[in-house]
Amino acid sequence: MVTKEVVIRRATWADASAIAAMLEVAWHNAYDAIMGRSHADEIGAMSYSLGAVRMQILFGNATIATAGTRVVAAAAYSESSPGTIFIGMLYVLPSHQRQGIGRTMIAAIQRTKPHANRMRLEVLVQNAGAINFYESLGFARHSTARPSVATGDLVFVLEKALRPREAVRPRLFDWLTGAARRQAREPILRFTVGSRPAPGPATSAPTSPLAKHPPAPT
């Protein structure tokens, strides 16, 4: 099997067009069959238009996975309440799915918020593949189906309890110590797809043989 290095890092302004192009492909691959092309087009713009992606980069903790120069996955998330990470989107390029990238994106997101004690997200009730994916990582349904606030489509809220790895640290502390700027430049995780797993260390470690399935969030 051919192996390739995947780097997960925060997205920058310069990544916006590549992210938008990747999201458009992944979006229609996921949703055209579920919701029909015209509805997928209608609400897709909220996710993959250049403007929407730029907003995520500015305000949404936009995070990407790259293989070489190619963007192969993107996620956006926020701390919706103290300690709760809300994942607003997670997309892996169809050609790169089922290689452990989605799972590693979730682990990377948790790594950026080590004080978090919960992850939450909404998933379309018909999106069986994604529901399986999240359940395989330990997420469980927190609600019966309910209309999404953003689109009105029926969604499940999925949640997973996390084991916090450190106490809550005021953002001001990160800003004052320069940690926020350093974190913005450094890779969050590097791993290799197509090789066997080994439990893996941390931020900005040299390339490690983490995947096929690197550690899931705890």
Ligand X SMILES: CC(C)(COP(=O)(O)OP(=O)(O)OC[C@H]1O[C@@H](n2cnc3c(N)ncnc32)[C@H](O)[C@@H]1OP(=O)(O)O)[C@@H](O)C(=O)NCCC(=O)NCCS
Binding site for ligand X (CB under 6 A): 26, 30, 90-92, 97-103, 121, 123, 127, 129-130, 132-133, 136
User: Shortest approach of ligand X to residue 55 CB, angstroms?
Assistant: 18
CB of 200 to ligand X, least distance (A): 14
Nearer to ligand X, 53 or 101 (CB): 101
Whole-number Å distance between alpha carbons of 13 and 171: 22
Specify the residue, 66 or 99, whose C-beta has the smaller distance to ligand X.
99
Q: Whose Cβ is closer to ligand X: residue 66's or residue 127's?
A: 127
Cβ 100 to ligand X, closest distance in Å?
A: 5
The answer to whether 194 and 174 have CB atoms below 8 angstroms apart is no
Nearer to ligand X, 115 or 213 (CB): 213
C-beta atoms surrounding 83 within 10 Å: 14
Burial of residue 149, with CB atoms counted within 10 A of its CB: 0-12 exposed, 13-18 middle, 19 or more buried: exposed
Within 13 A of 106's CA, how many CA atoms are on the CB side? 24
Closest to ligand X by CB, 106 or 116: 106
Q: Is 48 helix (H, G, I), strand (E, B) or coil?
A: helix
Find the shortest distance in angstroms from Cβ 129 to ligand X.
Answer: 3
Residue nearest to ligand X (CB): 102
- Write the DSSP symbol of residue 166: S
DSSP tally for the chain: helices H, then strands E: 7, 9
In contact, 6 and 192? CB cutoff 8 Å: yes
Closest approach of Cβ 46 to ligand X, in Å?
13
Helix (H) or strand (E) holding 34: helix 16-35
